[in-house]
Chains A and B, each alone.
Chain A
């Protein structure tokens, strides 16, 4: 990160000393504890008044601290709420924490500062039972309204087996149905204005263009959207809870399934965060392999976007072509990793295996094959006047809107903001690659598509560079916490076997601390905020996904659009519900 003004000094100049208590973390992000009653003004100051403001609420989450052993001088707290802010002007992050005591803590809502805080606060409420005073609609967001308990609290069991064999009885089914019934008032929607009665339309949870189980409740005047509310959580699997019961090593397969189109791209922020906690430096070869595979998955994900975006707008055929291309990507992926959609192939300290013999040929084949295909899709889709009519000027938002709502990735770049974490905060050796950041102009559906299409070309460039410059050397770091160590050595050397043995069984013991790592994933910034209590698994793993933020914005952009525009908008956002619900 670049040299930035010292936030602590700035904040102390504003609020005086004594307000903040800084906390050391394993990443470079300044972290401060702020008293509960001062949090809103601090947030406001950071967002609006400070020079080079922290305009984006990157993440808002909580930690159940009650069983944490290594708090190392942090203020006493049962539940801590964490605000992670991002300043584009400074290219710097800041983390604010609020210590809360008691079993049912409360604190003021920050929705008035960032509208984007709405869903985040609901999630914290849902998962931890923390109440946000002044929140416009504080209700469960991921769990069904009938759920008992707050899953991410430490007392909540992680395994369904604990709850007995599930049986859907008649009464239970009726109760669940009743709970899911849509009542506009509950969502802050008006049933009518003046003499216009709105039609409420439930789009989803099963609907062809919601791309998964998402429910959008629309208030319609004719086909025009007057208001919308989103009901998410149908794809919630509790990945963050799973992280707390798996070892650092065995959680890797679960990350693949967050953005299930992103494959190993999901592994990357996780292993980078763990490596940061453990102080591991992956060897060059591992880095380049990681970049290459991640870019393959960026292409794979964008291809799915491309095809389905076309299909959402009625183009039947391109989806077959893009999925076919994706299969070609998967062929390379399978040859290298053995998996296709979920290779689960990155490891703490490197990757699972070395590249197989002949990988170059496969990669070369793809690099040669793909560009003409992209050119053809341009003809079929991007240049189609019908598609242009459908997508241009539709669902647009400004750069300011995007920042306000936490938009990252192609959605941000489509507003003309040249911001790519691979360039701005290079990780895994991206600084050594040559590629451009494609940007759009208008922030509409069309531009978002254009950006992604161009990104595929850039990804291909990166892959070509990987192909030409693959370093020699080991694929796994020479660090005792790199899990598992080089297999060849494990099979013959006892010390390697011992490290391997403990790493794959009890799991590597990661030193206590906190670190977060956000990367430019397929859909935006995917970040893992990991807290180690010096144990074999995460004490808390927060997964910040781009889709969650992007989806929250839909009602804001969607008002005034027509139903088909909404479909275009949904398609252009390119979200994955597993990425939203986690």
Chain B
């Protein structure tokens, strides 16, 4: 710690920071543009000028850029010095020369960093009548709106897009005063993190296009802390609502999870909530018997009486839960049907993989890595994952991790780590060790030290071999070709050198061996005394959560139903057709008398149900999700779903009421349900510590979901009723659906938005952090449910698979993943839908030659007797004998992959 003097008052700050960060951490307001906590300092905007004095006798001082000056012992600065203020105001005046007169029509207005900084510097009146420079805009695809006129040339966009996120297609063009930020040619931004430009850009050049047609100012948005449901990482988000519809998603900083960024799926996938696939009222088959008649809307009362009737008259009910639904809803279902009748809703293969991951993380000793830890890893091995498409944010952080090792140079050169341009100059193109073993080339390959493209079994074998190289106790792989062996040795060497290596794997190869191999590598590294962490990609937002509930697999449940002991099946927010082959689901449907589906979207499963109950989706319901790290996180309602849509657990509580009178009070509140869950399943003990309980208050007040300047209260419903109704009550959380309530800095799990006086943009975050880029004030939210048991008595996995051998007539079908399309909910959002590729079959070059096929040619894929014609996509690195089918795309749902298939040229006639 060093002492610095700000306007003659001494303060203790951490050494080695720059003055801007130090002052912001202390709570001072220093205007800035080009500096961003994740992108560090380049000193180009000249706005963060402060006066620095030599000593206490120096009255003149000199102006320095605070972002470029380290906080050293005894440095004396003045933020309020008139000359410094004047300097900053001049910078704004100069930036305003060409800024268009756009605020009223700009989506950034009211949460614009440029606006905030302009007001903060106090420049109000223009002194020039010079003409303004203008630019033409580009169409940057369905996510991002481009308005170049507003640009202030801070370079944040390209520094994020290119330097941080590894994008290629956004660049800076032009010279002199005509500098242009855009693409070479119009077209959608390719990078998976383009949405962050919305928050990175300090003004309105890049804005959220999905928000544009139903735009609402920040002060009118009702917001709540939410968790992204579109992959297993559990990124923290802020979801915003107005007039009963969900309007947008912003990043919610969590120092341990997503930091400052979100992927595009998480940011733009929310719109499924407003899609026409939403179930907005209860539906039922009105005729007797099933299947024959269509679903028709019924009233909520009737739906309830039907539900009660079904539950009361059923001797045995099977409940099929869902890995995309919070713990509480799953538990409510489990409580309704009983432990033995509860299915996790995952297919056997998936459940085995997730259970294996849980097992490995529990056994230890290598702990699970948070995303923040991934960023600080100094070596990484990825086994069998295409991270950019399965867990995009993980890819973003691993991309940063390759800079760890070269940073040593920077330290040697005594360049501060935050001096971004200097650091990049010193590091040059050097990258730390990152090894990727996956079936095909993935988004991270450009920063990888080495890549290895092979079938899952071969990937697993490489992993086992690396483990053996690290620790001879680990089982050895026999018959490993020399080149693979050499690779294993190189990988092992690189990992061994690292201090904080990380091993990444996951479920996407659908191979337990790959996961086991990853565990072996991590354990071997641990035995060598490395601070190794493991990171597994989980398929869905609550996969680990339902796995911890230890329900039956889907196949198991179907089998049970078929044995004829079951008359009712209740499916909770789960599209079974996406998980199991069609015939299996049809058999389930046929074997029970009543098939009830509770879901928010009309899935294939819902379409065949007798009774569909409309469920609240993520922003309309409260619940706990367990991410891939084993971190349980609470997501809150942003707005109450309009009647008769209800939270799943509410429908279930009504069913429970019917089934067992008197038990309902245990269920009445969310907190009671959590308590009951903790009693029934001790693994969920920490869940009640995730966030303050519903009766928590700050000085007697709930926390307001609406900003204190929310407008239109007395007019928004005036066309319906002149009597202003009281805001809806929220008995389940300490948040209120109102502008009344606490508006300051809340406990981190409950912060509904980032706003501070004078800081209306997302940059207000600095007021919420203990220190810049550090944890939130009060600690980052979330609690890990799985900690490794450090008993030391663990054994290496030794089921090493045999090497994959391609056959000439059958191909191993593996899933390929797409950030847009592989996840079912986000795929319903119109903006995402525009970016979903059409279905295809991917084959390697060799196989293509063998089959005589070329790119785009129709291929006939025959799996278990059923055939499908798909255009072929030729992929260079795909190993022989392996073909890929995109996961989740409409025509390919429910395929039980990995599976073997015959592939041939499609006969033209079959094309239809």
B126→A507 contact, CB < 8 A = no
A498→B110 contact, CB < 8 A = no
Q: A161-B727, A162-B727, A164-B726 are in contact. Are A534 and B757 (CB under 8 A)?
A: yes
Residues in A with CB closer than 8 Å to B760 are 502, 506
Residues in B with CB closer than 8 Å to A164 are 726
A162→B125 contact, CB < 8 A = no
Q: A161-B713, A161-B726 are in contact. Are A478 and B700 (CB under 8 A)?
A: no
Closest residue on chain B to residue A492 by CB atoms = B101
Interface residue tally of chain A, by bracket? 35 or more
Closest residue on chain A to residue B102 by CB atoms = A494
CA distance A494 to B132 in the complex (A): 11
The stretch of A152-160, A198-206, A443-451 in contact with B is A152-160
B742→A67 contact, CB < 8 A = yes
Asked if A536 is at the interface of the complex by the 8 Å CB criterion, the answer is yes
B709→A535 contact, CB < 8 A = no
A162→B699 contact, CB < 8 A = no
Q: Which of B103, B110, B713, B738 contacts A494 (CB 8 A)?
A: B103
Asked if B846 is at the interface of the complex by the 8 Å CB criterion, the answer is no
B713→A501 contact, CB < 8 A = no
Closest residue on chain A to residue B110 by CB atoms = A505
Asked if A69 is at the interface of the complex by the 8 Å CB criterion, the answer is yes
Q: Which of B109, B119, B698, B726 contacts A499 (CB 8 A)?
A: B119
| B contact patch SS | loop
Residues in A with CB closer than 8 Å to B114 are 498
Docked complex: A527-580 residues within 8 A CB-CB of B: 534-537
Residues in A with CB closer than 8 Å to B727 are 161-162
Docked complex: B670-705 residues within 8 A CB-CB of A: 697-701
Q: A67-B742, A498-B119 are in contact. Are A154 and B701 (CB under 8 A)?
A: yes
Q: A154-B701, A155-B699 are in contact. Are A536 and B713 (CB under 8 A)?
A: no
Residues in B with CB closer than 8 Å to A494 are 96, 99-103, 126
Q: A165-B726, A495-B96, A509-B757 are in contact. Are A502 and B119 (CB under 8 A)?
A: yes
CA distance A163 to B740 in the complex (A): 11
Docked complex: A470-527 residues within 8 A CB-CB of B: 478-480, 485-486, 489, 492-499, 501-503, 505-507, 509
Docked complex: B58-110 residues within 8 A CB-CB of A: 92-93, 96, 99-104, 109-110
Closest residue on chain A to residue B126 by CB atoms = A493
CA distance A44 to B121 in the complex (A): 47
Most chain B CB within 10 A, of A66, A67, A486, is at: A67
Asked if A245 is at the interface of the complex by the 8 Å CB criterion, the answer is yes
A133-175 to B contact mask, C-beta < 8 Å, 1/0 = 0000000000000000000011111110111110000000000
A497→B125 contact, CB < 8 A = no
Most chain B CB within 10 A, of A165, A486, A495, is at: A495
Asked if B724 is at the interface of the complex by the 8 Å CB criterion, the answer is yes
A498→B118 contact, CB < 8 A = yes
B742→A480 contact, CB < 8 A = no
A165→B125 contact, CB < 8 A = no
CA distance A156 to B741 in the complex (A): 9
For residue A345, give the distance in angstroms from its CB to the closest CB of chain B: 21
Most chain A CB within 10 A, of B93, B125, B738, B742, is at: B125
Q: Which of B121, B125, B758 contacts A489 (CB 8 A)?
A: B125
Closest residue on chain A to residue B698 by CB atoms = A67
CA distance A536 to B124 in the complex (A): 18
A175-207 to B contact mask, C-beta < 8 Å, 1/0 = 000000000000000000000000000000000
Docked complex: A235-282 residues within 8 A CB-CB of B: 245, 247
B103→A501 contact, CB < 8 A = yes
Q: Which of A159, A498, A507, A535 contacts B115 (CB 8 A)?
A: A498
A495→B217 contact, CB < 8 A = no
Residues in B with CB closer than 8 Å to A480 are 119, 121-124
CA distance A157 to B702 in the complex (A): 10
Residues in B with CB closer than 8 Å to A165 are 723-726
CA distance A156 to B760 in the complex (A): 26
For residue B442, give the distance in angstroms from its CB to the closest CB of chain A: 44
B124→A495 contact, CB < 8 A = yes
For residue A160, give the distance in angstroms from its CB to the closest CB of chain B: 9
B119→A507 contact, CB < 8 A = no
Residues in A with CB closer than 8 Å to B699 are 66-67, 154-155
B744→A67 contact, CB < 8 A = yes
Residues in A with CB closer than 8 Å to B121 are 480
For residue A366, give the distance in angstroms from its CB to the closest CB of chain B: 35
Asked if B116 is at the interface of the complex by the 8 Å CB criterion, the answer is yes
Docked complex: B824-854 residues within 8 A CB-CB of A: none
Docked complex: A401-430 residues within 8 A CB-CB of B: none
Closest residue on chain B to residue A532 by CB atoms = B757
B116→A502 contact, CB < 8 A = yes
A162→B124 contact, CB < 8 A = no
CA distance A535 to B740 in the complex (A): 16
Q: Which of B709, B726, B744, B757 contacts A163 (CB 8 A)?
A: B726
Most chain A CB within 10 A, of B119, B121, B726, is at: B119
For residue A560, give the distance in angstroms from its CB to the closest CB of chain B: 47
Residues in A with CB closer than 8 Å to B725 are 161, 165
Residues in B with CB closer than 8 Å to A486 are 125
Docked complex: A103-152 residues within 8 A CB-CB of B: none
CA distance A51 to B104 in the complex (A): 60
Q: Which of A154, A155, A506, A509 contacts B709 (CB 8 A)?
A: A506
Docked complex: B710-741 residues within 8 A CB-CB of A: 713, 723-727, 738-740
CA distance A479 to B121 in the complex (A): 11
For residue B763, give the distance in angstroms from its CB to the closest CB of chain A: 14
Asked if B500 is at the interface of the complex by the 8 Å CB criterion, the answer is no
CA distance A247 to B99 in the complex (A): 28
Q: A66-B699, A67-B742, A495-B92 are in contact. Are A505 and B219 (CB under 8 A)?
A: yes
B125→A496 contact, CB < 8 A = yes
Asked if B902 is at the interface of the complex by the 8 Å CB criterion, the answer is no
Closest residue on chain B to residue A166 by CB atoms = B723
Residues in B with CB closer than 8 Å to A509 are 119, 757-758
Q: A153-B700, A162-B727, A502-B119 are in contact. Are A496 and B709 (CB under 8 A)?
A: no
Q: Which of B109, B124, B740, B758 contacts A157 (CB 8 A)?
A: B740
B125→A493 contact, CB < 8 A = yes
Closest residue on chain B to residue A162 by CB atoms = B740
Q: Return the 6 tightest CB-CB contacts between A and B, nearest first.
A: A155-B700, A480-B122, A493-B126, A164-B726, A509-B758, A535-B757
Q: Can you list 17 A-B contacts with CB-CB less than 8 angstroms, sorted by A residue number?
A: A159-B740, A161-B724, A162-B727, A162-B738, A163-B726, A165-B725, A245-B739, A478-B125, A479-B124, A494-B99, A494-B103, A495-B93, A497-B101, A498-B119, A499-B118, A501-B110, A535-B757
Given contacts A67-B699, A489-B126, A535-B757, 5 further A-B contacts (CB under 8 A): A159-B713, A479-B124, A485-B125, A495-B126, A507-B709
Measuring CB to CB, which residues of chain B are less than 8 angstroms from any residue of chain A? 92-93, 96, 99-104, 109-110, 114-116, 118-119, 121-126, 217, 219, 697-701, 708-709, 713, 723-727, 738-740, 742, 744, 757-758, 760
